Structure 1
């Protein structure tokens, strides 16, 4: 089914891995990335450089929210599929720099939607987050659960993009799938995420900050498992008929939201133990209270995604962490 795909955030953690996978399957990939300095730009540049080794990849550097930039690229490239991953990420950073979330997540997504309206793809897929479930304590999180009480501005902007995309899907008959990601990790991961920070600190002999005194659970999703889900969902174009009672398919638009998670929450201290095992070192721990905007647990209900595309691989947390630590040691020479 290979064709042309436009990937926003192609130098990001998920965008890089997805682009690699699509290129390996014969897709032509046009990647756009703003190269923001939210974390080390050298890591992003290295990812793009690796993708550029494949002649099927073309990179454009520019801010998503630049008026008309995305529209011009889409008009010229005419993609069969758009995968919109670019965003200002981070729960805690959204407290310090909320304007960047308005610009990248709201205005940037508007630019993508306008481009898709003018040049409709076969399928448009956009990244959301499990953080939209917010104060909902009913777990595992199902796509049909209420997600009305976001606890961070980051989550609020991502919930807004779900609503924006739904309106465009309804008004312009744009087949649209929203992803809700659950704590993605793996090689080439983001330096602001816990696995990267913990590994760096442990290998440097520094203490790690453990929030809520370690009483937290996350549905850690290994990057290869996530990418497998996205690639399979490209062919699962929303239509008029739901696949079952668990389907989040809109009654008025070719639009649905889909969880992509491992479906098995891991205790934070077990996660730390996996890093200790992979590094061969014990972590010095600063036990701290919960951070503003954070939630104590996430857990994905995988019923819908499995109804759409079948069972996904579920990499064991110890294997996934071991792969990340091996990459980290090799990349940083430690």
Structure 2
């Protein structure tokens, strides 16, 4: 049974990937410092913890031993260069390192080219180069996956979702790329496929292959996925309309489960306060 360690395993993408890999029979260790000890992250830990093959490490990722993992997925704060370097150095030469980057490294001027126009894109391009240099020194394999905006249950940002177009409700502090949009299930399928790569260094972007839903002028298409299809068998199966419906249904079910859990806790509390003394 293969073992994956996910740095940032209780984040949006990290959680969904962990869930998928557990379903596929992996041993999964999620690493998260829980510095922002949110109610959601605690609930996600409990959700994953129902599987006997799941382990959670509450600590800073720099302090974790990654030497026993077959695959390390870096889904944590990807702008932290020191943390990234520490994790890379702890991976064994036969360990695959998967890094989640951004399509903000691209600029669209009639065609897509690597020319970041945002500070986040520039930072990610520098991180990508750091990975290439370090893995060339250690002999480790690496896959860099450049992601557009990913949406689905537990997404950490608020999107206005329409039938054909989307937009951010608040762009303050936004780091997600606005070049394209993909549903979380399509992304985790691609990441799981990338984990089968066992040698070399690869940089792949994911895209919808359709018009950019953030762009209302029609002048910009979303990103193609030819290389991702060739290397990973990737194909975006979820249309925007389907994704919105799946997201809404999943959100409703999550809220229902939360209410049931709250009712159960309240019942237990009442029973503890008023125990039945009739024997």
Shorter-chain TM-score: what band?
0.7 to 0.9
- 1:172–1:210 Cα change, 3 Å: closer
Change (3 A) 1:266 1:83: same
Distance 1:181 1:269, change over 3 A: closer
Counterparts in 2 of 1:50-129, with a 5 A limit? 50-64=47-61, 66=62, 69-70=63-64, 73-75=65-67, 78-87=68-77, 101=79, 105-116=80-91, 119-129=92-102
Note if 1:228 corresponds to 2:189.
yes
1:322 aligns to 2:268 (yes or no): no
Equivalent residues of 1:184, 1:221 under 8 A apart: yes
Structure 1: how far apart are the matches of 2:23 and 2:66? 22
Q: State which structure, 1 or 2, has the greater radius of gyration over its C-alpha atoms.
A: 2
Tell me the distance in 2 between the aligned counterparts of 1:297 and 1:61: 42
Structure 1 residue runs of 5 or longer lacking an equivalent are: 89-100, 200-207, 239-253, 271-295
Distance 1:297 1:16 in 2: 31
Whether the 8 Å CA contact 1:218–1:265 is kept in 2: the answer is no
How many residue pairs get aligned? The number is 246
Q: Which one scores higher on RCO, CA 8 angstroms, separation ≥ 6?
A: 1
Instruction: Identify the residue that residue 7 of structure 2 maps to in structure 1.
Output: 8
Report how far residue 310 of structure 1 moved. 2.2
Q: Does 1:163 align with 2:129?
A: yes
User: Contact 2:225 / 2:235 at 8 angstroms: preserved in 1?
Assistant: no
Tell me by how many angstroms 1:260 deviates: 1.8
Structure-1 separation of matches of 2:58 and 2:35: 10
Question: For residues 311 and 328 of structure 1, what CA distance do their matches in structure 2 show?
Answer: 26
Determine the C-alpha separation between the residues in 2 that align with 1:298 and 1:13.
Answer: 26
Q: Would you say 1:42 and 2:39 are equivalent positions?
A: yes
Give the corresponding residue for 1:310. Answer: 233
Q: CA deviation at 1:325?
A: 1.9
Q: Is the 8 A contact 1:306 1:312 kept in 2?
A: yes
CA offsets 1:272-294 (integer angstroms, 9 cap, x no match): xxxxxxxxxxxxxxxxxxxxxxx
**Native 8 Å contact 1:79 1:121 kept in 2:** no
Aligned CA RMSD, in angstroms, stands at 2.9
TM-score scaled by structure 2?
A: 0.78
Q: Deviations over 1:3-45 (max 9, x none)?
A: 11111111011111111111111110111012243xx821122
Unmatched 5+ stretches in structure 2: 163-168, 260-279
Question: C-alpha offsets along residues 150-192 of structure 1, whole Å, 9 cap, x if unaligned?
Answer: 412x3232222101100012112111110101110112222x2
1:130 to 94, 103, 111: 103
TM norm structure 1: 0.66
Query: Is the 8 Å Cα contact of residues 32 and 60 (structure 1) preserved in structure 2?
Result: yes
Deviation at 1:297, TM superposition (A): 6.1
Query: Which residue of structure 1 aligns with residue 151 of structure 2?
Result: 185
